[in-house]
Amino acid sequence: MGQEIRDLMKKIVPILMLAFCANFYGQEVINDYKYVVVPTQFESFKSPNQYKSSTLVKFLLT
């Protein structure tokens, strides 16, 4: 059982470290911009503001 835990930790620790580094870097980059342009229609949707996606993104970024 001890070997299984070590193998699991060898897989989980690098993934967690990568996630934490990406999280800190991502937060730093968004502050470099004064404005963010949100499209009225995203490419994956068929109609403008489908599922209120554009409105939600604008709300979350302000």
The confidence score (pLDDT) of residue 55 equals 94
3-state secondary structure of 31: coil
Q: Across the 62 residues of the chain, what is the mean pLDDT of every consecutive 10-residue run?
A: 84 89 67 82 92 92 82
Residues 6+ apart with CB under 8 A from 57: 38
The confidence score (pLDDT) of residue 3 equals 86
Pick from 44, 35, 42: which is nearest to 62 by CA? 35
As a whole number of angstroms, the distance between CA 35 and CA 62 comes to 10
As a whole number of angstroms, the distance between CA 11 and CA 49 comes to 40
Residue 17 belongs to what H/E stretch? helix 2-30
The confidence score (pLDDT) of residue 7 equals 86
The confidence score (pLDDT) of residue 56 equals 93
